[in-house]
Amino acid sequence: MNTAILGASPKPERYAHRAQVELLAQGHRAFPISPQGATILDTPGYTSILEIEEPIDTLTLYLSPSRLRPLVTDIIQASPRRVIFNPGTEARDVAEQLQGAGIETLEACTLVMLATGSF
């Protein structure tokens, strides 16, 4: 499964980093997206979801709503199957826009989903 991580971080103490570790450990392909486009865990990084040339099944969010809102158009254009709003990223207006574009949204924790086999 191709999973993009919006708000990816090279810092091991960050939840986005932990999610990437778990995604990779469970055999998922992870695409880290950050303003720097940094390579994280030997995985090439991106500065935008639109730079990813493969279909994205899941987009997991690690950005505050204020940083997320300007990216909604790009997310809709990339058309992931689903978007996970991790704790602290919830934004009803963004979720409604994504749902209106036919994208499934979940308010959940990626780490918990991975740990319980519900990802």
pLDDT tens, residue by residue, 14-63 = 999 999 999 999 999 999 999 999 999 999 999 999 999 999 999 999 99
Q: How confident is the model at residue 7 (pLDDT cuts 50, 70, 90)?
A: very high
pLDDT score of 100: 98
pLDDT tens, residue by residue, 62-90 = 999 999 999 999 999 999 999 999 999 99
Query: At 14, which CATH number?
Result: 3.40.50.720
Range of the domain at 67: 2-116
Question: How many structural domains compose the chain?
Answer: 1
pLDDT score of 80: 98
Give mean pLDDT, residues 83-112: 98
Long-range CB contact pairs, 74-81, < 8 A, 24+: 74/48, 74/49, 74/50, 75/6, 75/49, 75/103, 76/101, 76/103, 77/50, 78/4, 78/49, 78/50, 78/52, 79/103, 80/4, 80/49, 80/56, 81/56, 81/57
